[in-house]
Structure formats: C-alpha cells, structure tokens
Amino acid sequence: MNVLNAVREALLKKYKGKFGKKPEVLSYAPGRVEVLGNHTDYNEGYVLSAAINFGTYFAVSPRDDNEAHLWAGDIMVESVFDVSDPQPSKDKMRSNYVKGVLAGLNAIKPATCGFDAMFLGDIPLGSGLSSSAALEICAGLAFAKLYGTEVSDFDLALIGQKAEHTYAGVKCGLLDQFSSIHGRKDHLVWSDFRTHEVKPVPFSPEVCFLMCNTNARHALVDGAYNERRQRCEQAAAFFNGVLGREIKALRDVSWDDWRKHHGEMEAIVARRSAHPIGENERVLAGIEMLRDNNLAGFGKLMVESHNSSRNYFENSCPELDTIVDTAAGVPGVYGARLSGGGFGGSAVLMVAAGDVKEVSDRVRGVYALKHGDRCDTRVITCSEGAAICQL
C-alpha cells in the first residue's frame, strides 16, 4: 500500500470510529511544488508548478441539524459551528480554511444541512508545499458534492483564495489552488495569472524533484508576505507613471525597464519588484528549455531564481540557503531553489533520477552540521490534481 492509500484508509477508519458510519463523500487534493515563478501570481505573471504526490483527504456526511462538526484527523481536535454562519477561529487555525471555503460556497448556494467531517493528509505543515490550499480544494469539492452546488474549477480556486484572504489573513495569489486543481501526472503546470490559462508541460523522466524541508518556521500571516505584495503594487504604480504605456501589474514590466528606472524608486520597492519581474522572464525561458530537454539550462534558472529570492525579495532564510548552496556542488543536481512563499519551509532540488539517495544523504549531512538536525527529504513526483474519490 502506498503512502496516500494508507492516509486514505487511516482517515476512513478514524471517521468511522468517531461518527459510527462511513462518509457519504470523500475527496482528495494534492499539495504543490513551485518550480519557477515565485510571487508572480498576484503580479499577473507566469508560474511553472506541479501537483505533488502528497495531499489531503476530506470525508463528510450530512447531519439532521444545522451544525458542522469538523475534525482535524491528525490531532483529533474538533470545531463545531453553524453551517450558515462559519466564523473564523482564533485558535483552531486550520478550521478557518474549511470555514472560508464553506462561506464562499454558501454565497452560491446556501448549505442545506449540517455535516460531520474529518480531514487528514501527509503534507508537512509549514513546509511550503501548500497544505492550506490542498485542504481548501478538497473541502470545496466535498461540500459541492454534498450540497449539489455547481462550481467551476476557476471559481473554486477563487473561493480558496478568498478563504486565505479573509479567514487566514494571507493575501495570496491563485498559484496554490490552480496547481492543486490542474495537476497532471508527469507534467508541470504552466499558469498565466492574467488570462488564467493553464497548460500542461511534459517533464523529463530523467529527473525528479527532491523536497528538502528545513523545518524552519514558515508562517505568512505575520505580515511578511503581505508587505512584499504591497511593495509590488507600489512598483507597478511607479512604472505606470514613467514607462509611457499602461502597466496593470509587474507582469507588464521587463527587466530592461527595471534596469533603466530602478534608481528612481525607493530602494526597498526597487529590490522587491526586481524579483517577480525577473521571475516572469525565467518562466518563459524555462518552458523553452524544457521543450528542448535542456535540463542544465533549466536548472541554472532555478538557481538564479533562488538568488533573486535571497538578494531582492529577501524571502529566503539561512536554512534554505544552506540547502541550495550545498546542492550546487553535488553531482546529479541540476538546480535548486526555495519553493513557495519562503521565509522557511522547503527547498526543491531537480535531481537526476538515479542520484536521489546520494544527493539526499549529502544535503542532509551538511545541513545537520550547520543547523543541528537533518532536514527532511522526500521525492516529489508530478501527480494528478484534485478529485472526488470513489468509496
């Protein structure tokens, strides 16, 4: 039995033990790995990502009353609330993602009854692999099925995003939700966050991704993420006033534009804006390199992306830098960078498939010498997106 099947069976067992019945609906949504395109989604830019082979299951059945009984299956903590008025919690933070999604679906079609629900996954919390979006999307799919609510993939992604904004306090873009919904086995997901077009990009079987979880603090609700977004918006407004053409977002600004005018901006705004501007150009270049099977060139772009995060956006940390710098000198590694919002979490390495163990051992060893504990490593494969499961 593989790991995800074990998670599914564990959830069904816990659900029956708690509620004395099988769930009526079971859904699944994967986490995601961001490969190129860091903080570009809310700048209307481009991202290369993938749904991954780790995710979250959500089991639910109707009740005869209007109460929601929601259990976090890993720690067995319950949240009880009225389905017609799901208010944010100050202490049970993961319940907020579910409550926010329910509120979004209620705006389309009010919930017709209460529910008994439980969720369980294997995405390490705070790892930068978007456990929050996986929970939002699997909850959304399950509720839509339970209540007979018609919702498009795009609207479901918007509902998940709004849950992050209003219930969790993180002004994220749509990258995480898009990746979880649109994942495809053995493919990356290319997303255009202006047109909302999504395309699969074949990924070479010669390589895989190695996720290296620093176990360093990864909490975006303390304002660091929102500050970066605010600086990007300030930069877009600046460029709109000096370039002589309409600039709706940093997606409309080239690297040449930035080099010509960055000295006219407040220093911190110039630094922050350099990152997504450069990232957009790296994503477009990366797609062409993958089409040509230029893995070395693509890996170089990943390293450039991390250095931009480190120097311009300042959303890396010493633990992430140790992994990326160590990986650069290990045979079999094509590229490495932080993945996700940053400020902790995980680094992702693109590694020759036959060298995974050697690379993992080397990186974990160096990491332990510098930081006291070995980082966690897992092999990441590009996987299918979210779905309702057969029971």
Q: Any idea which residues carry the catalytic annotation?
A: 176
Is 73 strand, coil or helix? coil
Contact 36, 48 (CB under 8 A): yes
Calculate the alpha carbon distances from 249 to 190, 220, 246, 253, 259 in Å. Answer: 19, 22, 9, 8, 17
Q: In terms of Cα–Cα distance, which of 196, 197, 198, 201 is closest to 185?
A: 201
Distance CA 338, CA 322 (A): 11
Cross-strand partners of 191: 47, 198
Phi-psi domain of 333 (left: phi exceeds 0; alpha: psi -120 through 50; beta: other): beta
Q: First CA to last CA across the chain, in angstroms?
A: 17
Pull the structure tokens for residue 158.
């918007």
Angle at CA 83, nearest 5°, toward 82 and 88? 70
Residue 114: φ, ψ to 5°: -75, -175
Strands 387-388 and 67-72: unpaired
Token pair belonging to 47: 């991202």
Long-range contacts of 291-298 (CB under 8 A, 24+ apart): 293/204, 295/204, 295/206, 295/207, 295/334, 295/350, 296/334, 298/334, 298/335, 298/350
